[in-house]
Amino acid sequence: MTEKIRVGILFGGRSSEHEVSLMSATSVLAVLDAQKYEVTPIGITRQGQWFIGENVLEALKKRDFSSLTRVALIAEPENHILYTVQETGGKLELHPHAELDVIFPVLHGPFGEDGTLQGLFEVMDLAYVGAGVLGSSVGMDKALFKDVLRAHNLPVVPSKVFTLKQIESDLDAVLRQAEEIADYPLFTKPVNLGSSVGISKCHNAAELRQGILDAARFDRRVLVEKGINAREIEVSVLGNDDPQASAPGEIVPSDEFYTYAAKYLDGKSQLIIPAELDMGLINRIRSLAVEAFTAADCAGMARVDFLLDRDTQDIYLNEINTIPGFTQISMYSKLWEASGLPYDQLVNHLIRFALERRKESNRTKHRAGSET
């Protein structure tokens, strides 16, 4: 009998996308084949504590951790053991609980999707699903991602970045510089956050002022960019060194743009799969999605979001999400389903890609000379 693959599913987390992560994890846990995988669900609280236990997912939803057991990983290469943490006589004791072959981080936003956890897994030489440290951090940073795309001559809308220090010291100067980007409307966004948290569409100076202040609540850097009369097109990308792009889909948001409420709360936004586009646009968008995925050094999975100008038919790359929403009704998985890859098989592919990438990485020498 083939040995089961030991998978740790990591969810929750410290970011404002905590609830989204719980929804994604629910779907992943529901399809993992018990004959193929030995699964350890690991929940991270909003305060950053790691827990295991019966119904850990429900416990995180209810914020009741009384029946759970704290756990930890140790940042040592080739030590892939998940330890339980017990406090005895004022001292913390670690006890081996389970050995892991691969981590599936179903975490969105800072402290999960931004390269921080990926750095821990790299130090441990532990396989994990999704982009590495570089791809994760570039993908999470909206401003840096746009700079990378510009360096590769890939199309993005005009934008500027402002720091919290600039905003607090001279907001009027920031407003003047922001208004030089383009005519209204302008969008204001926290540089490092997802799920449309903290994003505003601003139609005048008063809204721009408030939008900048709102975005600055969530990050120390704020992106202001030109707004266009756009269709929102998304493409799912899957793979490592030879990534493939799904058929594109279109978001028809219930709000003025695809806000957090339109994504997760009101249930009125429409997903059109496949998007109604001519074949030339479809091929161009799929090609750009793979180029962006490669330029940012992504791996495993990513959802690439586009803006298609209704007036000019110009295509702009908007964002890349290295751990996109991952429920069975999320755009990432639905696009692959429409392209012939069901959700359970998609999860299997991602775990396989993670193990293959770790095997490839382990071929790399980390020291000069013959020392191993």
Q: Where in the chain is the domain with CATH 3.30.1490.20?
A: 159-226
Beginning with the edge strand found earlier in the chain, give each strand of the sheet holding 186-190 in spatial order: 159-163, 221-226, 186-190, 200-202
Q: Where in the chain is the domain with CATH 3.40.50.20?
A: 5-128
Given a cut of 80, is residue 158 above it in pLDDT? Answer: yes
Percent above pLDDT 70 for the chain: 92
- What pLDDT does residue 2 have? 65
**3-state helix vs strand vs coil in the chain, percent to 5:** 35, 25, 40
Is the domain defined by 5-128 classed in CATH 3.40.50.20?
yes
**Please, which pLDDT band fits residue 16 given cuts at 50, 70 and 90?**
confident
Q: The domain 139-155+229-360: what is its CATH number?
A: 3.30.470.20
Each residue of 34-77: pLDDT tens digit? Answer: 999 999 999 999 999 999 999 999 999 999 999 999 999 999 99
Residue listed under structure tokens 């892939």: 80
d(CA 14, CA 305): 24
- What pLDDT does residue 192 have? 83
**Please, which pLDDT band fits residue 305 given cuts at 50, 70 and 90?**
very high
Q: Where in the chain is the domain with CATH 3.30.470.20?
A: 139-155+229-360
Q: Select the more confidently predicted residue: 182 or 270.
A: 182
Q: Is the pTM of this model over 0.95?
A: no
Each residue of 108-145: pLDDT tens digit? Answer: 988 999 999 999 999 999 999 999 999 999 999 999 99
Is the domain defined by 159-226 classed in CATH 3.30.70.1350?
no
